Amino acid sequence: MRVIIKATNIELTLSLRTFIEKKIGEVEKFLEDVLKKIDTFDGKKPRTEAFVEIGKLSRHHKKGNIFYAECQIPLPGVGVRSESEREDLRLAIVEVKDELQRLLKKYKNRQAAREKRQRRKTKKDIKLSKRARFYRKGRIREEGI
């Protein structure tokens, strides 16, 4: 997974960059099942990107520095986005990672449920003959005859 980092009002040091890449990179294992379902181009695994923005909020806060971290991962259908504000930047990044994991699990379960519904519908359509009758509220309704 490629991690794109943008820093606002702070300096992005090498140690901070490696910390972000390590923490956000841990989310990739939750994406593996989702990425298997996506169409591949030239037989290669599709490459995902995580857009991370970190920074310090404006200087008008009276209680010291307030840092924020945001991360967005575009996926088919809907993107996954998480944000956090903390007094410690590293805690904000960890909180963003935890929320991303939760959202990716939810996204994966939602995709699996959609796929299951589609399979059920296809199986039902295959089993029915053209002369099948559907019973609904005590009346018979003939379809496609």
Residue-by-residue pLDDT tens, the chain, 145 positions: 889 999 998 999 999 999 999 999 898 888 877 676 665 555 566 568 899 999 998 766 666 788 999 999 988 778 899 999 998 999 999 999 999 999 998 988 888 888 899 888 888 777 766 666 665 555 555 554 4
- Report angle CA 104, 110, 116 to the nearest 5 degrees: 135
User: What pLDDT, on a 0 to 100 scale, did the predictor assign at position 89?
Assistant: 93
CATH number of 2-142: 3.30.160.100
pTM (whole model) above 0.85: no
CA distance 3 to 6: 10
Count CB neighbours of 117 within 10 A.
10
Amino acid at 45: K
Angle between helices 89-127 and 14-25 (to 10 degrees): 30
Which residue has tokens 């840092």? 67
User: What pLDDT, on a 0 to 100 scale, did the predictor assign at position 126?
Assistant: 75
User: What pLDDT, on a 0 to 100 scale, did the predictor assign at position 145?
Assistant: 45
